[in-house]
Every structure is written in C-alpha cells, then in structure tokens.
Structure 1
Amino acid sequence: MRARTAGRRARRLFERYGVVGFGLAGPALFGTWGSSLLGAALGIPRWRLIRWLMAGVTLWCTVLLVASDAVPFTPDDLPGYAGRLFDYCRQHPEVIRLATWHRLERGDSHDRDPAVAAPTRDAKLEALDSVQKKDGTGADFSPTALLTLVLSIALAWNPGNPTGMPAATTEAESADDRRRSIVRAVRRLL
C-alpha cells in the first residue's frame, strides 16, 4: 500500500514539475534511493535523473546547513542557547523534519558527510572547548559529550524525538514551562 502511495505521489510530482522538480524535491520526499527507483520506474533518463537528484541532495543539505546556524551558538551561555534552540524548533518544525531526513539519508557519522555537518559542529566544539578551558564550564564532560547533552535536552519535547511524551500527556505543561525546564536542566548540568 505504501509503495503505491509513494508511486502516485511521485507520478503527480513528475507530471506537475517535470524532471527538475522531481529531482529537487524527490530526495526530501522519498529519499535518494526511493527517488532513484521511482524515477527509473517513471522512465526518466538515468543521466537526467542523477543530475537533478544530486542537485536536490545538495539543495537540502545546504538548507540544513543554513538552518543549523539559525540559532547563534553561545558556549558561555548554554542554558540560554538551549532555550533559544527550543523556541526556534517550535517555530520551525520543518527544520527538525529536514534534520531527520538528513540523518536517515546520510547517516550521522562525522566521516560520512563532512562537507555538511563537520564545519558547524567543529566550530561549536572548538568554541565550547575554549570556554571550558577559560572558566571550567561543564568541565565534567568533554566538549562533544556536553554539546550532545545540551542538544538532547533542548530537543527533548520535539515531536521527532522517539522518547518524547505523547501530546496528551504533556498538555498540562505550557511551552513556557517546558522551556524553563530545559534552561534549568542545562544550568544544573553545568
């Protein structure tokens, strides 16, 4: 059933926007492998399909890279950063969906896609390391562990979090309550 639905969506996308639209949107909608298979099934010439799928992957990776820097990283104010990241992700849930796509599509290993993830992550880790050496912030953790913990706490109520609570169980808490909890938790972590 799912395959038929994806096939119908792919056909509509192709008929409406052609090879270019299919190649640009396909990776985000169907994944790269799915787009390759669906494009071949639709009869799109291989060389055109590959060219536009590569452009689509590049586009979505660039969007993710820009989005990852949308909340300025403040290593000297990690609780504030966690709160601002929570706010941003509530206002822009599409960024979380895009990050989830990226991890599924490219993996989360540093060496699999260094052109997209490494510069942003490495800059944050270097800044965090510098602050830790200067004033001992979060010195119980390595910069990598500390950044991972802060990001995990900030995104704890994200709908994409597999360990998140269902909406029905958290309705009593407001977004402001959640934000305060995040800031307080990160402050205690340090």
Structure 2
Amino acid sequence: MKKRPAKPIIMTQNVLDIQDYLKYKNERDYVLFVLGVTTGYRAGDLVTLKVRDIREALRKNEFTILEGKKKNSKNIRERNRKPRTVEIIPKVAKLLKEYTKDRKDYEYVFKSRKGVNKHIGVQAVSNILKEAGEYFGLYDISAHSMRKTYAYKIYNDNDKDIVAVKELLGHRNIEETKRYIGLDREKYHQYSKSLNDFVR
C-alpha cells in the first residue's frame, strides 16, 4: 500500500489544540512541535539539535541549519545540504530559553527515552503527531506536517505569495512548492465543487 503524503495543519485553532494536547502530555514534544511549525525545518534536522545549537541561535536571534533531504548514501546527503536561516520569534525564544535553562551544552535538546545520549527519532515524532492529530479528527499528520504547516501559514497569510514560500523552503521551482502545500488538490476540489451547478 502506498504511503499517503503528510498534510499541513491548515486551521490555526487545530495547531493551538495540538500544542495544548502535547504540552499536557510531554514538554519535549510540545517544544519540538512549536519549533517545527515556526521554523519550517525538517524533523530530521530538528531532532539532532544540541543545547549549544539552541543557545547559539538564541544569541543570534536566528537559526542557520544545513538542510538536506535524506538520501541513500550519507555522502550524497552531505553534498546536497545547504544552509537555511530562519528568525526565532520572541515567544519561541522565550520557550527555548526556559526549556534549555538547566541543560548541558552537549546534550540533545529532544532526548529519546531509550538512552542517555540519544535523540528522539523522526518516526517517533510522526507517531506522536499522528496520535495528537487523530485526537482532533485530523488524519495524515506526521513529523513532516510541521514543515508543511509552516509553509501553508506563510502562503495563506501573505497574499498567497507562492514565490516567498518557495524561497523560504529552498525549493527548486514553484510547482514543487504548490504540490508540497497541497494547492493542486485544493484547486481541484474547488473546480469540482463548481460542477454542482450542473445538477438540480
């Protein structure tokens, strides 16, 4: 069976509900989710952050992460990585400062429960968000939904500026960005709805 692509969380209220749900269950998951939807970084890049990375970002008021899609070979991934800089909004800066307050620089920010010096895995993040999404009747939510939610929010709140979203995500072309945030599906749905006029 083909895996269905992750969906963005379109409604702000749903994003806030999931935040509250995660905050109640586990602070780590809550902080990771907030960071994901406000930076648009891939979950695979976020889970490997160490406390020193957070402190450096807070000092500069921005993150710069070498991003790259996972490839079969580690060497290919390293060659295809490129830096992407994102501003840290004040509420998130405050949250991160508090969350890392008593932590050591060399620790992973988002620790796994399985080991002392291990970070949470992307699949575990997907499982956590899937459970949270389903609680609120949202399906096809995974770790990648954080990045897609970030992209959709920027698109929707900035006069549907697809070029800005493309640049912010580091995509090669606009068609990739449209598919990424589900605009094609949205458009097809609107076109199909107009056909209702044909039926009494």
Give the TM-score normalised by the residue count of structure 1. 0.27
Which of structures 1 and 2 has the larger relative contact order (alpha carbons within 8 angstroms, sep 6+)?
Answer: 2
Name the structure where helix makes up a greater proportion of residues: 1
Q: Highest CA radius of gyration, 1 or 2?
A: 1
Name the structure where strand makes up a greater proportion of residues: 2
